[in-house]
Amino acid sequence: MNTADDDLVARIKAGHLKAFEKVFKDYYALMCSVAMDYVSDSTVCQTLTEDVLLNLWEKREGLVITSSLRAYLLRAVRNKCIDHLRTNRQASAVLGYYESMEAKFGYTIADEKDLFEKLISDELSDLLEQAIDEMPEERRNVFVMVRMENKTYQEAADALHISVNTVKYHLKKAHAELQEKLRTYILLQIISFMFLLALLEDLC
């Protein structure tokens, strides 16, 4: 890890919530974006990302990171998504069926909690759609192909007649733009997450 990561991790291990808030703010959107590569449901992506961050906080005293903090978090969310897919494959198929029926016939199968989560998910989806639409055309095409259509870097490069390195550049810039434009939403998520942490600490 670099010096900044060392300091941030040390402060998290010491129980500094401000340090944890910075990690949440800096990496939440990126982790959700990576989760979308594996799980198409944005609500599930948010839940899995928050689970990874919550686990980071709960196990902070024994935290050992040998790579960069960014690499550690992205690997953790990928592993979380893979575990989710392995253990919830059948349940996901059933849920997908009911969601498609809801969309087709206009009725809801959700209880109040599910409806609230759907509203939050829809809000994030709308913000993401707007942010993606505002990207430069080539960057938007790269992001859609790789992150939403699950094309490889090479496939996107071939389709757009650009190099793989250009694809990677556009993805990096796209992630940065999304983090900036979703900052307000992320801050609201931080407040909710901090409230959850406070409740958990009160129960300990």
Alpha carbons 65 and 74: distance in angstroms, whole number: 12
Mean pLDDT score of the chain = 75
pLDDT of residue 116: 38
* High-pLDDT (> 70) share of the chain, %: 69
Q: Over 90: is that where the pLDDT of 160 sits?
A: yes
Per-domain residue ranges for the chain? Answer: 3-203
Residue-wise pLDDT tens digits, 108-153: 433 433 433 444 455 666 777 788 888 899 999 998 888 777 788 8
Which of 183, 177, 44 is CA-nearest to residue 120? 44
Query: What value does the mean pLDDT take over residues 66-71?
Result: 86
Alpha carbons 127 and 121: distance in angstroms, whole number: 10
Q: Over 70: is that where the pLDDT of 91 sits?
A: no
pLDDT of residue 1: 57
The residue among 200 and 186 whose pLDDT is bigger is 186
Alpha carbons 172 and 164: distance in angstroms, whole number: 12
pLDDT of residue 108: 42
pLDDT of residue 141: 92
